[in-house]
Amino acid sequence: MPDFCCFVFGSIFMLHLFAPVRAVERRMEEKPALHMLHLSGECLLWSGVALLVSPAPPLDILGYQLPLLLYHLVLGYAVHRHIFRYELKKATKETWPIRRLWALMVPGHMGLLFLMSQSYALGAVAAILLPLPVRYFITRPLPVEHERGTKVTTVHRVRERFEGTRPPSDQGYELGGVQLPTKDMVTHTLNVGTTRSGKSMSMSLALQDILRNSYPGHERRALITDFKPEFYSLLVGWGIPEDSITLMNASDARGYCWHLAKDFTTAVDSEAIGSILIPDVPNAGSGKFFNDGARMLVVRMVQLLMRYAPGNWYFRDLILALESEDIFIPLLSCDPDLAPVLKTLGSGETRDSVIATLATYIERYRVVAAYMDAHMRAGRLHSITDWKEGHGCVLVGFDRKNEALIRPIYTLYVTRVAQVLTSEHTSGYTFLFLDELPELGRIGNLERVARLAAAYKVCLVLAFQAISDLREVYGQEIANSIIGQCDHAAYLRVLDHETAEWAAKQIGETTVREKLATYVAEGWGTGRSGRGRRATTNAEHLDRRFAVPPEHFLNLPKPDKDSNTGIHGVYKVGHMVYPYEVPSNYLSQHLLAEDKTVPAYMPIAQEHETLRRWTQEDMVRLGFDKLFKQAGLLPHDLRETTFEGLLGPAESTAPLAIEQVDFSFLNTDETVIDGEIA
């Protein structure tokens, strides 16, 4: 019994020595010496314990137990040296040594313990002889060795790499089972996956870590695009106060009015507004002239509002000013610097086509302008200029019913955010979570944001379903440039082969050395009765292939809570690539639920779909009195006349007489602006 007790302790030590699964997986490759020192210390510890608990004379222990322990220590050192110095550097995912090591050693030690309990002598002989073939089997050369290129590793080694890199005050954010420091987000994160691939859940894990520290009092601000919509109730469920959420969704009753006048103040800014409201039409042919003319009218009207109502005009004012030629022609003609644009209208059918093109686009935005006006009258105003100096979360929302109307406005909004964030330094971090990036349209300066983000502490988290969608919006060159700036990525389940192959190329190729054994039959006979013989030839060759083949992304399973299937994907963190499944039970425990008492979308009342006309107070607010006075007019008397022949001769832009101006576009019955939404 004492001998058996000693052997139990020796076996426990030997088990730990031969099969340190967690240690081998998590130890850094460059620290084998420290690990061996740790093992040597444990060897001495277990030897000491065996000496203390055994009632046998010390000489018996020194004669039998200690040599056996030292013998196993030498074999264990050889095994560990082979793993650390060779296999961990050369092994591919297919030949990873841990499973083989564990499968051999656990049954082996259980068998030795059983033999020792039956016969000490038989167990001792087995303990001496069996480790030799086991050691030979484990330390054989790998059939496939990694030579160069991308090497797929495990999540444990990535966790070891980032362990201790976050300060205690930094909660960080999660990506593929690894908690990364917040400062690493300035190198940007990419999420690629089709519908129901787990892309939204993967982003939500990072979102909830970041956004909980984005409310006032923290040096953080965030912007999220929400196409479903679903994030408003999620944010409240995550503990973010509703007064810290700015909902940029005009069709939602809780939405905010974008105060364009605060964010657009220069002539260059007016060009951006014109390009969004009147976009270029591919292959427009002769229609391009009409589009350009309509766009120029928008640009000049924005410049007029900037000039006479700086910081005090709204989207409603722009739409009302452009909705009819009976309004924008007299307004622009009163300013000698802006009036020449009217000459570009031409005459006859050309003039009518330009005005019709403008009217077609402007009519689309009437409802959006009415929504924004309702939010403005309720006191919900938002500007990017104020937001970048403060904190909180901006949620750019869309609903499918009004998406086509609202999208251009908020494409302009996100574009302006990108411009502002890379032109002035702000305090703390700014996070841009741009889900379904191609759906948002082309965001100007996004490439610049990706390149200069580190200097301005701007963190991009981008997501899309197919690479073809992104290239269609941005073009291949700019799309590749944006993606190339993303240091971290999650490649999830995709449906099209083009995206799967693109993902495989993004991860990279690997070169492996394969060792082959070739059997050649020699002589006359090749059957069992023949006289021939078989010769063996060992050969090896280098094979270059994708580290993760495209088929892998096409065959990833869908996340399914009922079948306990989590989010499967291949993750790239810096230069480290690893496959990982975010477990379904982990998502259930850590992904916070939405607040079901707060609706994700609250449609605005239909009564606010009608755009209010201007009032006399609006005319003063917009500086039209100064405009008319500059043109030699005194609009103290709102006389209603006709606009026919307003410009006189075709080339005339001379000051106008008061009798020629029709102020019927003003709603003279309404003299005050409502303070509340009815």
Q: What is the pLDDT of residues 126-138, one digit of tens each?
A: 777 777 777 777 6
What is the per-residue pLDDT across 348-375, written as a single tens digit (0 to 9) for each? 888 999 999 999 999 999 999 999 999 9
What's at 571, amino acid-wise?
Y
Give residue 359's pLDDT.
Answer: 93
pLDDT digit string (tens) for 531-590?
Answer: 555 555 567 778 888 999 999 999 999 999 999 999 999 999 998 999 999 999 999 998
Helix (H) or strand (E) run with residue 463 in it: strand 458-464
Band (pLDDT 50/70/90 cuts) for residue 498 is: very high
Q: How far is residue 347's CA from residue 272's CA, in Å, rounded to a whole number?
A: 27
Residue pLDDT, tens place only, 586-614: 999 989 889 999 999 999 999 999 999 99
The token pair that represents 4 in the structure block: 């058996």
Q: How is residue 623 annotated by DSSP? A: T
Q: How confident is the model at residue 202 (pLDDT cuts 50, 70, 90)?
A: very high
pTM score: 0.75
Q: Mapped to the 3 state alphabet, what secondary structure does 70-81 carry?
A: HHHHHHHHHHHH
Q: SS3 letters for 343-403?
A: HHHCCHHHHHHHHHHHHHHHHHCHHHHHHHHHHHHCCCEECHHHHHHCCEEEEEECCCCCH
For the chain, domains (ranges, CATH) are 2-142 (no CATH), 181-256+381-499 (3.40.50.300), 272-369+616-660 (no CATH)
Q: Helix 476-484 crosses helix 467-474 at what angle (to 10 degrees)?
A: 120
pLDDT in tens, 271-317: 989 988 998 877 666 678 899 999 999 999 999 999 999 999 999 99
E-strand spans in 506-606?
A: 509-522, 533-546, 567-573, 576-582
Mean pLDDT of all residues in 53-74: 56
- 377-390 average pLDDT score: 92
CA distance 456 to 431: 11
- Distance of CA 358 to CAs 343, 407, 504, Å? 16, 18, 46
604/600 Cα distance (integer angstroms): 13
Cβ contact 298:421 at 8 Å: no
Given a cut of 70, is residue 529 above it in pLDDT?
Answer: no
Binned at pLDDT 50, 70 and 90, residue 482 comes out as: very high
State how beta strands 245-248 and 220-226 pair: unpaired
pLDDT tier, 664 (very low <50, low <70, confident <90, very high otherwise) = low
CA–CA dist 297, 244 (Å, integer) = 38
